[in-house]
Structure 1
């Protein structure tokens, strides 16, 4: 009896757990398009992170209910700071 009760509780806990979502942003591309399809369009909203520039994303988003944003997970390579050397003498 204890085994079956424990099994029922375990199965219930597994089935009741909320599904986890995968990472929305692709870190390989610097620009993402956020598409809003709304309640009438169905499908909800999603991100398409496959753009290399803002003009490219804006051309694709033209005429759609979408907006282009910079990808917050894109690894920005900042230039190294310029080192200044002192002359001694």
Structure 2
């Protein structure tokens, strides 16, 4: 009866290969996680009826909802890469909520 055993050299080579594969996987996963830009919450303040969206480089933008009139927003947006729009989450005045 012959018993096959793995030579110490072959075992070390397999251990090294597994270790290197795990290390490569960890590095790849870390690079993927770090390369993703963090998402920022865009909050529409429901107390104001108009918002401005300022466009930044790339695809990012910021939204600021603190304008009481469209004219006020447009004056702020003048000369900027920005647009004004009605706040979709505006609650309206307290009087308009009554039926």
TM value normalised by structure 2? 0.49
How far off is 1:20 after superposition?
A: 3.3
Specify the alignment match of 2:43 in structure 1.
Answer: 26
Specify the alignment match of 1:58 in structure 2.
Answer: 74
Q: 1:35 pairs with 54, 57, 69, which one?
A: 54
How many residues of Structure 1 are paired with residues of Structure 2 in the alignment?
A: 74
Give the Cα separation in 2 of the matches to 1:7 and 1:71.
49
Bigger Rg, structure 1 or 2: 2
Query: Is the helix fraction higher in 1 or 2?
Result: 2
Specify the alignment match of 1:14 in structure 2.
Answer: 30
Give the Cα separation in 2 of the matches to 1:75 and 1:69.
11
| Root-mean-square deviation over aligned CA pairs | 3.1
| Gap regions ≥5 residues in structure 2 | 1-15
TM value normalised by structure 1? 0.53
SS at match of 1:67: strand
SS at match of 1:68: strand
* Structure 1 stretches of 4+ moved >4 Å: none
